[in-house]
């Protein structure tokens, strides 16, 4: 019998998840059906239960439901607990297991696909929202020399850093305090690029950078990436690799086999120009 999976979000028309998972299934010989569900804003839990009751085995979760998915889950793995959000659910009987693969997918893209080591690196993460929260535990596991989280509201960055204190040192910063600092890797986890805006990061943070990474994908040369390019950063990337890598992690969690990702990433990558 074909196993059923889905991605749920609202809106959902833009999602690439069905194409990605169909590609994974074909490559690994897995018999699955993967669909997209536009969940009602006032009926997320009902939509999840209906899918599970109809035989669904698991779901990816995208905006705006990651927090609701976390609350709905009966069993939360550590990455999901620390992030306070989940992007993947697995159904086993009456149990709903939750994990968060966004951060581990980002680390895989940076270290394996882009070939940039995070161990011993000075890393700057812009933003202290859900995307940043999901990234911190996988980042700390890479043992960077320094991990700084910068945010418009310093108190938000400080609270985020404090919540991860038992796992490693995270330095909270306002944007104004970044002047004169240098970083090997700069990652934009803010939503600024969705509105073609630039987070207020000083250009000199890029002086020694090896990589500037934009979590938003498919937007070409965003203001953040343009600033990095003009500052001389040799390697620029958007979030398409993270998208595929986190999907591969969820696929492996569900199916027990991890698909190769490189060819699909290459096919989906849009030149940054």
Binding-site residues, please? 15-17, 62, 78, 87, 102, 127-131, 215, 217, 239, 246
Conformation bin of residue 196: beta by default, left when phi > 0, alpha when psi is -120 to 50: left
DSSP string spanning 228-253?
A: HHHTT-S-EE-THHHHHHHHHHHHHH
Give the dihedral of Cα atoms 149, 152, 157, 159; nearest 10 deg. 180
Decide if 66 is catalytic: yes
The CA distance from 58 to 184, in Å, is: 37
Reference 72, options 101, 102, 51, 103; nearest CA is 51
Cis previous bond, 81, omega within 30: no
- Of the candidates 66, 119, 195, 210, the residue annotated as catalytic is 66
Q: Which residues are annotated as a binding site for shikimate?
A: 15-17, 62, 87, 102, 217, 246
DSSP-derived letter for residue 114 is S
- Distance set, CA 220 to CA 40, 165, 216 (Å): 31, 35, 9
- Distance set, CA 107 to CA 56, 74, 115, 187, 188 (Å): 29, 27, 11, 11, 14
Q: Which residues are annotated as a binding site for NADP(+)?
A: 78, 127-131, 215, 239
The strand pairing partners of 35, in sequence order, are: 6
List active site positions. 66
């Amino acid at each position: 019998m074909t196993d059923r999976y889905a991605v749920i979000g609202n809106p959902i028309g833009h999602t690439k998840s069905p194409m990605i998972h169909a590609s994974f299934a074909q490559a690994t010989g897995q018999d699955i059906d993967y669909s997209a569900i536009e969940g009602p804003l006032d009926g997320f839990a009902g939509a999840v239960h209906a899918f599970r009751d109809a035989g669904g085995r698991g779901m990816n979760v995208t905006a705006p439901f990651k927090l609701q998915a976390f609350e709905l889950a009966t069993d939360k793995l550590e990455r999901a607990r620390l992030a306070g959000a989940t992007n993947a659910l697995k159904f086993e009987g009456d149990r709903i297991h939750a994990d968060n693969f966004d951060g581990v997918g980002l680390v895989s893209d940076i270290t394996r696909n882009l070939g940039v080591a995070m161990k011993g690196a000075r890393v700057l993460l812009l933003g202290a929202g859900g995307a940043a929260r999901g990234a911190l535990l996988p980042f700390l596991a890479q043992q960077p020399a320094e991990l700084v989280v910068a945010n418009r509201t310093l108190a938000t960055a400080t609270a985020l850093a404090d919540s991860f204190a038992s796992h490693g040192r995270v330095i909270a910063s306002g944007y104004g305090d970044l002047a004169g600092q240098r970083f090997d890797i700069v990652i934009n986890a803010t939503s600024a690029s969705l509105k073609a805006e630039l987070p207020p990061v000083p250009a000199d943070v890029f002086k020694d950078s090896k990589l500037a990474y934009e979590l938003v994908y498919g937007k070409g040369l965003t203001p953040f990436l343009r600033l990095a390019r003009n500052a001389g950063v040799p390697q620029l990337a958007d979030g398409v690799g993270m998208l595929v890598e986190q999907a591969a992690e969820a696929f492996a969690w569900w199916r027990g086999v991890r698909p190769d990702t490189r060819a699909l990433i290459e096919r989906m990558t849009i030149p940054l120009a």
